[in-house]
């Protein structure tokens, strides 16, 4: 079914570059180019073959390029935003994904199509820092308004203190354990395990 959908999408939105991707585990998804996202969503919402009238969730995921795999296309540094769309009338669903650069990721908001996108996009902004254009009220949703950084970024470093409260008091934590994985790798490299 996804192939037909992708063909229909490419037919109606010529610059969307829809392609079907098989996950190693889990479901198929359709990738589209990020500038065409709003037009693609409008089509998915209104076309009677799709009829996706429910947006279940929007989630952002951050990928860092790793040293070993940076040449394979799947392991670029990127931010992926997934939209899980459902139609109860047609009884089908779809995972729609777009890929964004890690610096200044920007997307069009789909709040005008699905009202549920409002909080989901705010969460995505809060956690991985994707800016949604034309969002009615793009503020942080979980973290405090003056929080620094985006916690679900892979390279996130938590700030030292917030409003005079120490975030990670040294005497209450086991900070050396943080280094555990690093040390493990060093040892493995040293002893050739």
Partner 1 sequence: MQDGVVIAKVDEFLNWGRKNSLWPMTFGLACCAIEMMATGASKYDLERFGCGAFMATPRRADLMIVAGTVTLKMAERIKVLYDQMPAPKYVISMGSCSNKGGPYWQYGYHVLKGVDEVVPVDVYVPGCPPRPEALIEGFLTLQKKIANEGLLRDKWVKNA
**Smallest separation, CB 145 to partner 1 (Å):** 9
Name which of residues 158 to 187 contact partner 1 (CB under 8 A): 158, 162-163, 165-169, 172-174, 177-178
CB neighbourhood size of 127 (10 A)? 21
**Is the CB of residue 155 less than 8 Å from the CB of residue 64?**
yes
Spatial distance between the Cα atoms of 100 and 140, rounded to a whole number of angstroms: 20
**Least Cβ distance, residue 138 to partner 1 (angstroms):** 19
Q: Which is nearer to partner 1, 64 or 142 (CB)?
A: 142
25 versus 165: smaller Cβ distance to partner 1:
165
Per CB under 8 A, which of residues 99..158 are in contact with partner 1? 142-144, 151, 156, 158
91 binds partner 1 (CB under 8 A): no
- Give Cβ neighbours of residue 100 (< 8 Å, ≥ 6 apart): 34, 78, 79, 80, 81, 106, 107, 130
**Looking at residue 16, what DSSP letter applies?**
G
Element of type H or E holding 3 = helix 2-12
Least Å distance, CB 144 to partner 1, is 5
Query: What is the binding site for partner 1 (CB under 8 A)?
Result: 142-144, 151, 156, 158, 162-163, 165-169, 172-174, 177-178
């Amino acid at each position: 079914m996804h192939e037909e959908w992708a063909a229909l999408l490419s037919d109606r939105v010529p610059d969307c570059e829809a392609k079907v991707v098989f996950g190693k585990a889990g479901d198929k998804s359709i990738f589209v180019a990020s500038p065409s996202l709003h037009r693609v969503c409008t089509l998915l919402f209104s076309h009677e073959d799709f009829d996706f009238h429910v947006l279940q969730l929007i989630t952002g995921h951050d990928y860092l390029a790793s040293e070993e795999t940076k040449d394979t296309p799947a392991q670029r540094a990127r931010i992926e935003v997934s939209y899980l769309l459902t139609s109860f009338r047609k009884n089908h669903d779809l995972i729609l994904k777009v890929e964004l650069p890690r610096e200044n990721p920007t997307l069009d908001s789909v709040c005008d199509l699905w009202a549920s996108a409002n909080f989901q996009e705010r969460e995505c902004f809060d956690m991985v820092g994707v800016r949604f254009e034309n969002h009615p009220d793009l503020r942080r949703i979980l973290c405090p308004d003056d929080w620094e950084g985006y916690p679900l970024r892979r390279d996130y470093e938590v700030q030292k203190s917030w409003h005079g409260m120490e975030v990670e008091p040294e005497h209450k934590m086991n900070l050396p354990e943080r280094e555990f994985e690093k040390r493990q790798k060093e040892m493995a490299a040293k002893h050739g395990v």
